[in-house]
Structure 1
């Protein structure tokens, strides 16, 4: 068994109506699925990605209206990276963020790559990361109807950063249980803190890295809007997922067991520092219940929720995603 990289990252938003234009009109991602939280179908679950919603490109949001702001801290997924094709693309995004009033830092090196830090409208922390010299897991394919030119477009998920108070137990989970390998480290920008460690899996590269940060100066995160709920890792297929379930049971981690999310199959477990991991299969994919050219335009429900459609639609605040191409 060999995890292939990052599958998706799921975060929290309080405002789907503002989330949707930020991630499509400003960041240029495609809304590939407008659905609901399967564990709480009274709220939206929005999926963004490349043109087909390929695994490794999916950024998702649970909407919890009136949710308090995220308080950053340890036991958290503290930053998500988004891949862009080149160093030149970062210069494009620097100007674009200025034009749209997006809070951002400056282009700087991080883990051997040029990056650009920014925050979304709910202060979620991101890095754009250049794929200029990346030779690992392939990126996704930009949507040709995006407002962002293809040569500068976001092509998928890059490294995900975990922040914990003590790294030992998380290192054991990453290496001994999940099969990640320590690649290198890079300096923290926070004074008197340890270097940030870089772990990789599968073919390696930007789409297969987890960065592990130790912080002794922070309280535990209080998850809220602008925070990340979990990170999912890629299993090739359902048979392999069942092997992971057996392995995680043997390691005596409490877990969800097999969960059918319709668009992929999953397992969830929480490691000792409180990070929630998901292992998800690459398929069946997001075109299972919608035509590829119309992904995300209508409310999609998995079969077990379809009989409750009228009730669900009566609760959800309407979100118009059936707009003409950019």
Structure 2
């Protein structure tokens, strides 16, 4: 029986590539693991941030486009992204956020204390301690995400009966599901009404769940067809292959393969240092580099 191990990546829409790089590397301490382009809109960057090796369950990706209109977070979207931090690291992160002038508040959910904040484009982020003892307070990967579904019962059915995540409880207007992976294994559904979401800068575009490999991805697509969920054809994203579908709550889901990963065209030590293009666009490198804004790549291996 098919079962997803949890989140592969989450993709957002923002305005500024440089501002995004600064926030997610300098402030959150993530690594820019891939600087490439949006395959459908090659004049727009596609930036990937994650842990040092760029493993599934740690990857936040961005489409930065200056001309993009501001969006509105609401129903039919992924509303918030939660990052896992080691136990006993709240003091470090509160001091760090204060140092960089980032407003935050402590909130509680499912017995956890969260630091809730927004990035420079208004994306909702959360830092949540998990029972992992590390020598560094750096972000481990995703803890999970929160869906703002227009039909929470339909999205819950997708998580439980399609992806085979386990419903582990409800708390003050949220329903929680858990997958088996070590990171990115929690997805909450907000049950209380919200405004209708409008896609644009400062919103999350989609959430991708994990498939082990291409053979399993074909199985997922057959299952989606059986359930009349109208999946796309399999698309080659160079670093993974994937399919997309919408649920009845308006959430755009992607299912993406763990392989081949981000070291297919760069060694681990040099991830994110150059503009990488898929083989079918390499002949247009000079043209694309002229269109893309010049941005500074800041590789962060840890947090001081």
Please state which band the TM-score falls in when normalised by the shorter chain. over 0.9
Q: Secondary structure at the match of 1:42?
A: coil
2:211 to 235, 258, 281: 235
- Are positions 1:165 and 2:142 aligned together? no
Whole-Å Cα distance in 1 between the matches of residues 300 and 110 of structure 2?
A: 39
Whole-Å Cα distance in 2 between the matches of residues 210 and 72 of structure 1?
A: 17
Whole-Å Cα distance in 2 between the matches of residues 133 and 30 of structure 1?
A: 20
Whole-Å Cα distance in 2 between the matches of residues 39 and 299 of structure 1?
A: 16
- Are positions 1:262 and 2:238 aligned together? yes
Q: Contact 1:254/1:269 (CA < 8 Å) preserved in 2?
A: yes
Q: Contact 1:74/1:215 (CA < 8 Å) preserved in 2?
A: no
Q: Where does 1:13-24 land on structure 2 (aligned, <5 Å)?
A: 13-24=14-25
Q: Number of matched residues? A: 301
2:180 to 197, 202, 205: 202
Aligned to 2:200: 224
Change beyond 3 A, Cα 1:323–1:164: closer
- Are positions 1:186 and 2:171 aligned together? yes
What's the CA shift for 1:68? 2.2
Aligned to 2:71: 70
- Are positions 1:285 and 2:252 aligned together? no
Q: Contact 2:142/2:184 (CA < 8 Å) preserved in 1?
A: yes
What's the CA shift for 1:324? 9.3
Aligned to 1:303: 279
Whole-Å Cα distance in 1 between the matches of residues 165 and 156 of structure 2?
A: 9
What's the CA shift for 1:206? 5.9
What's the CA shift for 1:133? 6.7
Q: Contact 1:165/1:215 (CA < 8 Å) preserved in 2?
A: no
Deviates more, 1:46-55 or 1:162-171: 162-171
What root-mean-square deviation, in Å, do the aligned CA atoms of Structure 1 and Structure 2 show? 1.9
Aligned to 1:215: 192
- Are positions 1:175 and 2:151 aligned together? no
Aligned to 1:124: 123
Q: Secondary structure at the match of 2:89?
A: helix
Change beyond 3 A, Cα 1:126–1:230: same
Whole-Å Cα distance in 2 between the matches of residues 325 and 155 of structure 1?
A: 12
* TM-score, length-scaled by structure 2: 0.94
Cα deviation per residue 1:282-324 (whole Å; 9 max; x = unaligned)?
1111111012111111100111111111111111011121779
Whole-Å Cα distance in 2 between the matches of residues 231 and 254 of structure 1?
A: 17
Change beyond 3 A, Cα 1:185–1:262: same
Q: Contact 2:116/2:127 (CA < 8 Å) preserved in 1?
A: yes
Runs of 4+ in 1 over 3 A off after TM superposition: 322-326
* TM-score, length-scaled by structure 1: 0.88
Change beyond 3 A, Cα 1:38–1:306: same
Change beyond 3 A, Cα 1:101–1:324: closer
What's the CA shift for 1:166? 3.0
Aligned to 1:192: none
Aligned to 2:37: 36
Q: Secondary structure at the match of 2:48?
A: strand
Task: Could you tell me which runs of 5 or more consecutive residues in structure 2 were left unpaired when the two chains were aligned.
Answer: none
Aligned to 2:228: 252
Q: Secondary structure at the match of 1:168?
A: helix
